[in-house]
Amino acid sequence: MYKAIRAVALCGTISALLGACGKTEAPVSAEQASADAAFQKKLQEQLLDAKPGSVVEIPAGTYHLTSGLTLRGNGVTVRGAGMDKTILSFKGQVTGPEGMLVYASNFTIEGLTIEDSKGDGLKINDGDNITIRKVKVQWTGGSKVSNGAYGIYPVKTRNVLIEDSVAIAASDAGIYVGQSNGVVVRRCRAEQNVAGIEIENTINADVYDNVATNNTGGILVFNMPNLSQPGHSTRVYKNKVDKNNLGNFAARGTAVASVPAGSGIVINSNSKVEIFDNDVTDNQTANVIISSYHSTGYYTEKGVAAGYDPYPKAIYVYGNRFKGGGDSPDGLDLKALKIAMYGISGHLPDVLWDGYVDTKLLVKGVLPAEQRICIQDGVDVLNADGPNKYKNPSKDTAPFRCELAKLPPVTITQLAAQS
C-alpha cells in the first residue's frame, strides 16, 4: 500500500512565519568566531563537570558551535533564556554527529533552540526521568534529505516528558521516542518533517494536545522488527493533525521513506493503540492509516526476528472529528484504488486499512474480540485487500463496529510530582 515518494519540498507559509524557511545569516566575523569558540569550550566544560543538582544556565544569544555537546551527569538542569532567545547553531559543525548528546538520568533541558546540526538535534541515549521542555530543534534551510534524521530523540529511556516543544524539517522524525517505557508528549508542534511525531517500539505512551501539520505523516505509532522490545499501549488524543501533505524527503531505505505524503495518523504493526478526540483534517491520502509491516516495502536484509508480530491489533478509533482528506492519495496504487472505489472526484475514507490480518488467530474468520480493529461513530473504513494486491477491496464497515477496553492514562514520575 505504501510507496516512497522522495521530493525536496519548498517551505510552507507557517514555517516562513516561524522564521524557519530560507534563513540567512551574516558571515561570522573573526572576533565573533573567537567568542563563540570560547563560549563553546566553557559550555562543554560546564556540562562535563556538572554534578547532581547543578543548573547550567545558557544566556540569551545566538552561538555558533563547531562541535557537538555532551552531557553525562545525572540530576542536571540545562536552561536557556527561552526557546527563541538562546539559540545554539550547528551550521558550521565539524565534529560530533549530534547537536547535543545526553547519557544521563533525572535531568531537564529547557528554554533553548538547537538548529542545523549535522545529524540528530537532541539525542538522549538511555536514562530515566527525562524532561524536555520548551526546546526547539530545527533545520533552517527547509525540508531536505541532507538534514539530520531526528529532532528530539530519546531512545531506550524511561519516564519521559516532552512538552511545549517544536521540531521542524527533520529528514526522519521531528519528535521521536523509541524503545522506551512511560512517555508523555504534549503541547508540542511538529511541521515540515517526514514524520511529525513518532512513537516506535515504545510501551505506555500518551500523545496529546499537539499540533502536527505540513509533515509527510502527522503522528506515527510504529513497531519495527529486530529492536530491543515491541511496543504497545499508546493513546493519541486531543491533537490537531492537519494538512500533512509534504512530499516524502526521507533517505532511501529508511522506514519512514515508505510513508505516503498525505498521511494523518499512521499505525503500523503496533497493538493496543487508542485514537480519540483528535481533529484530523485534510490529509490527502487518508486521515488515519492502519497497516502491517507486510505492506510497507522496507523489508530488512537481515530478516525479521521470529517473535516479531507484523500485524496491527487492538486498535480503537472513536470520538474524533474528521474533515476532508483522501482526495489526492500518494502513489499510483493508492490513486488507482481511489478511482476504482470512489471515482475520479471521490476520496478515500477517513480510515484506510491495508487488510493484512494474522490468519493463525482467526476463529470462523474473525479475530478474538480483544484484538480487533474497532472504528466507532459511523466512520467509513476501506479494507484495501493488500494481501491480494487490491483485487477485492471492501467498503463493508460491519467488521469494525466493535468496542475495546480503554487504556489507562500514562503515569510518569514527572507528572506524579505535579499532582
Residue 289: predicted pLDDT: 98
Q: How many domains does the chain have?
A: 1
Query: Is the pLDDT score of 349 beyond 60?
Result: yes
Average pLDDT of the segment spanning 334-338: 95
Mean pLDDT, the chain, whole residue set: 91
**Which cell numbers hold the place of 229?**
522490545
Per-residue DSSP letters for 56-107? Answer: EEE-SEEEE-SEEEEE--TT-EEEES-TTTEEEE-TT--EEEEEEEE--SSE
Query: Is the pLDDT score of 53 beyond 80?
Result: yes
Evaluate whether residue 166 is within a structural domain: no
Evaluate whether residue 374 is within a structural domain: yes
- Going by pLDDT thresholds of 50, 70 and 90, the confidence category of residue 242 is very high
Evaluate whether residue 199 is within a structural domain: no
Query: Is the pLDDT score of 22 beyond 60?
Result: no
Q: What is the pLDDT of residues 55-91, one digit of tens each?
A: 999 999 999 999 999 999 999 999 999 999 999 999 9
Query: Which residues pair with residue 86 across a beta bridge?
Result: 61
- What is the greatest pairwise CA distance in the chain? 76
Residue 14: predicted pLDDT: 29
Evaluate whether residue 310 is within a structural domain: yes
CA distance 53 to 38: 25
Evaluate whether residue 155 is within a structural domain: no
- Going by pLDDT thresholds of 50, 70 and 90, the confidence category of residue 20 is very low
Evaluate whether residue 58 is within a structural domain: no
Query: Is the pLDDT score of 262 beyond 90?
Result: yes
Evaluate whether residue 135 is within a structural domain: no
How far, in whole angstroms, is CA 224 from its chain's centroid?
14
Where is pLDDT greater, at 25 or 8? 25
Q: How much is the pTM?
A: 0.92
Evaluate whether residue 106 is within a structural domain: no
Residue 17: predicted pLDDT: 28
Q: Among 380, 401, 376, 240, which residue's Cα sits nearest to residue 319? A: 376
Query: Is the pLDDT score of 10 beyond 90?
Result: no
**Which cell numbers hold the place of 305?**
526476528
Which domain range does residue 401 map to? Answer: 1-22+210-242+257-295+302-419
CA distance 315 to 1: 19
